Structure 1
Amino acid sequence: MEKGKGIMGSGGRWAVDFSDNSTAPPSRDIPDPPGFTRASVDQDDSTVSRQKKDAESNWKAQKAWEVAQAPFKNLLMMGFMMWMAGNTVHLFSIGITFSALWQPISALQGVGKVFEPYKDNKVDLLGPKLLFIALNLGGLALGVWKLNTLGLLPTHASDWVSSLPPAQEVEYSGGGIPL
């Protein structure tokens, strides 16, 4: 086999020419491989950066939804703890109830801070924020319901007796014999 003739000879389909071009400067005379163009490399860089930005936006949207659904787990745990505390008024049940009230209130005050890391022009945070608010309002409603079952909410007229003015005397009777 001669040098430079390749595997199949000089005219074959898989012919390889190993001519010595080491003295020639590198030039653009060498054609690109089939399916490759230099313009596509530059275009691929912009496509890759756009795909990375899209992937980051998708990741942020997914994480925002996960954060929005997190209060649901807290809701289930708090409901179980309130059930375990029972319906009698004692220190443990009152502590659990006020904890169930305080957590949603503090979470609702910090909605902006919770979703701050996920802000992006391509990410719509309205849906996750509304879900987060709705679940925390559900937790607040659960705490208010527990206050009612403990009898700590003033729901009857007898709970407001102290704020009513004293009843006016309709008649006055006195006893004894007049002299």
Structure 2
Amino acid sequence: MEKGKGVVARRWAIDFTDNSISPSSRDIPDPLGYARASSDQDDSTVSRQKKDAEANWKAQKAWEVAQSPLKNLLMMGFMMWMAGSAVHLFSIGITFSALWQPINALQGVGKIFEPYKDSKVDILAPKLLFIALNLVGLALGVWKLNTLGLLPTHASDWVSSLPPAQEIEYAGGGIPLH
């Protein structure tokens, strides 16, 4: 016989077009860990939960980014301590690195927090923390500059720019020798 021609019932054939068994029948117990109610939820509820979860994730990541300068502060403080207070190439390089990193970070605050912008996420507080920690890093760099004696904080640092002192007293006397 040709395939598809004639009606020959196969002994082990399963007919999947049988409509007597519906997927919603309660005759078959649910497997362990499966909750039928969770699959029956409204799509709007699921999408709202996904949006809430995404907003929570963005808020958490924004706080992580805001706290990242703290690790840099600790590392940079240790490096400056190890460099010592003598003026040499290594200590000057570490100090200028300590100044450059916070300045660059402060210039790019908007770009850094751009991926975390959302109507449900308030990123003002993480931004303020990020700015405050970078300002502390900048202050640490300025303090190290002062420790190295590279900031003009004493009057002797400005002597070369002061005009010569005017003489107010003249002394003369004696007999001129010719």
Q: 1:167 aligns with which of 154, 162, 165?
A: 165
Q: Which amino acid aligns with 2:89?
A: L
Q: Residue 124 of structure 1 aligns to a residue in which SS?
A: coil
Partner of 2:63: 65
In the TM superposition, residue 46 of structure 1 has moved relative to its aligned partner by 0.6
Q: How many residue pairs get matched?
A: 152
In the TM superposition, residue 178 of structure 1 has moved relative to its aligned partner by 2.5
Matched, 1:46 2:44: yes
In the TM superposition, residue 173 of structure 1 has moved relative to its aligned partner by 3.0
The ranges of structure 1 where at least 4 consecutive aligned residues each deviate by more than 2 angstroms after the TM superposition are: 172-179
Partner of 2:72: 74
Q: Per-residue displacement from partner, 1:5-26 (whole Å, max 9, x unpaired)?
A: xxxxxxxxxxxxxxxxx689x9
Partner of 1:126: 124
| TM-score computed with the length of structure 1 as normaliser | 0.76
Q: Unaligned stretches of 5+ in structure 1?
A: 1-21
Q: Distance in 1 between matches of 2:174 and 2:113?
A: 79
Q: 1:145 aligns with which of 143, 146, 154?
A: 143
Q: Unaligned stretches of 5+ in structure 2?
A: 1-17, 27-35
Partner of 2:156: 158
Q: 1:89 aligns with which of 87, 90, 95?
A: 87
In the TM superposition, residue 154 of structure 1 has moved relative to its aligned partner by 1.2
Q: Distance in 1 between matches of 2:50 and 2:25?
A: 27
